Amino acid sequence: MMMTMVRTAAGGGGGGARVANTAVIVAANRLFSTAGRGGVAAAAAARGIGNEVGVGGPNKLGYWIRASMIDGGRSESTMALSSEKEKNNEEKKKIGSSSESVGNKENSNDKGIIASYWGINPSKITKEDGTEWKWNCFRPWETYKADLNIDLKKHHAPVTFLDKMAYWTVKSLRFPTDLFFQRRYGCRAMMLETVAAVPGMVGGMLLHCKSLRRFEHSGGWIKALLEEAENERMHLMTFMEVAKPKWYERALVIAVQGVFFNAYFLGYLVSPKFAHRMVGYLEEEAIHSYTEFLKELDKGNIENVPAPAIAIDYWQLPPDSTLRDVVMVVRADEAHHRDVNHFASDVHYQGRELRETDAPIGYH
Ligand SMILES: [Fe+2]
Ligand SMILES: [Fe+2]
């Protein structure tokens, strides 16, 4: 509707452009009234439209709006910013000098323009030593020192039929995994993390939906499970730095994810106590795998390279840490996941719901 108004008004020349300015400014103020800043930005953008369509000189926002809305609608808003690079480069040159007017003095790139338009400016965070914080996927206050004193030997002895089924499901999965990776523990760790990060997300998502359906709190379990998923994904982001997946390994991950996500989703719906128990055993296996990884590092069969920068920041490791230190903290994380999942399964075994117990939020 806004586009129609602009085009019609613009057809009338200078007077039309003024009408367009007014009409779109009013519309923009209404449509973007969620925040004062957004309203101002929208109004400014609307002025840009009027100028561009009518008689005035283009400004930064005007160009962006023209590309994204007038030239073809919503779907082009990203296309204009990604595929039409030449056009963008031209526009960047034109708008470079006025980049401060949209409130982001340092980013005159497209990302900066979008962020400013919506009133969202990228935050600039520095470390304690004053250097720039370079990770967007986690923030300094989300980092932690791993608890290396956790008991790695704890094991839940399978008693019930469901326990035994969970235990033997995991054990049977180990055979093809051992066969495929053999002693390539770096690669094995990376690949297994692509699977390990799924259950927390699925469980968290299902509890989230349950909370919505039943109009009830989750007792913090949504957060706890999503934290686990995020922690596992950070393991993957770390191992990616030391082991690059080959094309057939990437293909395998896609296939495994397709099967495992759906299987775990259904499994969790049918029996959350089975699902959590199985993850508990998976984590026990992960502890074993990382112990083997450490042995190979100690024997010198795997080079103990410097720890990736992302790991040093995420686990607050000393700057001279090595891969061995990283494997130690990751293994400690797995032991915590083991506890959380066996605990969750035990809660269900007692005929209670997770929300009735305090969720282990921040349990690393
Ligand atoms: Fe992991
Ligand atoms: Fe884990």
| Residue 113 in domain | no
Whether 161 and 261 map to the same domain: the answer is yes
Whether 259 and 317 map to the same domain: the answer is yes
CA 196–ligand 1 middle distance (angstroms): 6
CA 234–ligand 2 middle distance (angstroms): 11
Ligand in nearest proximity to the CA of 282: 2
Amino acid making up residue 215: F
CA 162–ligand 2 middle distance (angstroms): 21
Dist. CA 197–CA 186, nearest whole Å: 17
CA 190–ligand 1 middle distance (angstroms): 9
CA 278–ligand 1 middle distance (angstroms): 15
Ligand in nearest proximity to the CA of 364: 2
Domain boundary among 52, 75, 104: 104
CA 330–ligand 1 middle distance (angstroms): 6
Domain region containing 24: 2-104
Whether 80 and 217 map to the same domain: the answer is no
CA 342–ligand 2 middle distance (angstroms): 12
CA 317–ligand 2 middle distance (angstroms): 19
Dist. CA 56–CA 77, nearest whole Å: 23
Q: Which residues pair with 132 in a beta bridge?
A: 126
| Residue 43 in domain | yes
Ligand in nearest proximity to the CA of 335: 2
CA 241–ligand 1 middle distance (angstroms): 15
CA 333–ligand 2 middle distance (angstroms): 6
Cβ proximity of 350 and 213 under 8 Å: no
CA 154–ligand 2 middle distance (angstroms): 15
Whether 204 and 320 map to the same domain: the answer is yes
pLDDT string in tens for the chain (364-residue length): 333 333 333 333 344 444 344 333 434 344 333 333 333 333 333 333 333 333 333 333 333 333 333 333 333 333 334 444 455 555 444 433 333 333 334 444 555 566 677 777 777 888 877 888 889 889 998 999 999 999 999 999 999 999 999 999 999 988 888 888 877 888 888 889 999 999 999 999 999 999 999 999 999 999 999 999 999 999 999 999 988 888 988 999 999 999 999 999 999 999 999 999 999 999 999 999 999 999 999 999 999 999 999 999 999 999 999 999 999 999 999 999 999 999 999 999 999 999 999 999 989 8
| Residue 338 in domain | yes
Dist. CA 235–CA 251, nearest whole Å: 20
Cβ proximity of 244 and 189 under 8 Å: no
CA 69–ligand 1 middle distance (angstroms): 44
CA 224–ligand 2 middle distance (angstroms): 13
| Residue 192 in domain | yes
Whether 99 and 227 map to the same domain: the answer is no
CA 161–ligand 2 middle distance (angstroms): 24
Query: Among residues 312, 292, 316, which one has the least CA distance to residue 302?
Result: 292
Q: What pLDDT is attached to residue 295? A: 94
| Residue 64 in domain | yes
pTM of the model: 0.69
Whether 222 and 284 map to the same domain: the answer is yes
Dist. CA 300–CA 155, nearest whole Å: 29
Q: Which residues have C-beta within 8 Å of that of residue 70, sequence separation ≥ 6? A: 3, 6, 7, 49, 52, 53
Query: Among residues 300, 271, 277, 119, which one has the least CA distance to residue 206?
Result: 271
Q: What pLDDT is attached to residue 117? A: 74
Q: How many structural domains is the chain composed of? A: 2
CA 27–ligand 2 middle distance (angstroms): 50
CA 233–ligand 1 middle distance (angstroms): 7
Whether 199 and 327 map to the same domain: the answer is yes
| Residue 132 in domain | no
At 335, which CATH number?
1.20.1260.140
